[in-house]
Amino acid sequence: MKFAHSFLFALASIHSAFANKVTCKADSELLNGAIGQVYSPELVVVSTPASDVRVAHEDDVLTADVHEERLTIITDDSNHILNVGCY
């Protein structure tokens, strides 16, 4: 019985990770249409259901840890969106 519970827990974790990757990819595709627009938190909330969002300036140093489920938005000096991706 312990094995069955462990297996189901592992399966649920895999499904959750896969679902987050799919969601992030869909979110980034939706926000690709916002490239060139001025970034605002409201834009992200209205456009996507993403729960893990990171906004960074184009010159910021970002950590090397890649999270495919994290939506990353890169902006310029005037806060215009330059890039959107899952990393």
Buried/exposed 9-47: b ≥16 CB within 10 Å, e otherwise: eeeeeeeeeeebeebbeebbebbeebeeeebeeeebeee
Supply the range of the domain harboring residue 33: 2-86
CATH code, domain carrying 61: 3.30.10.10
pLDDT digits 0-9 by tens, 39-69: 998 887 766 776 788 999 999 999 888 888 8
Which of 14-23, 51-60, 73-82 is predicted most confidently? Answer: 73-82
For the entire predicted model, the pTM comes to 0.70
Number of domains in the chain: 1
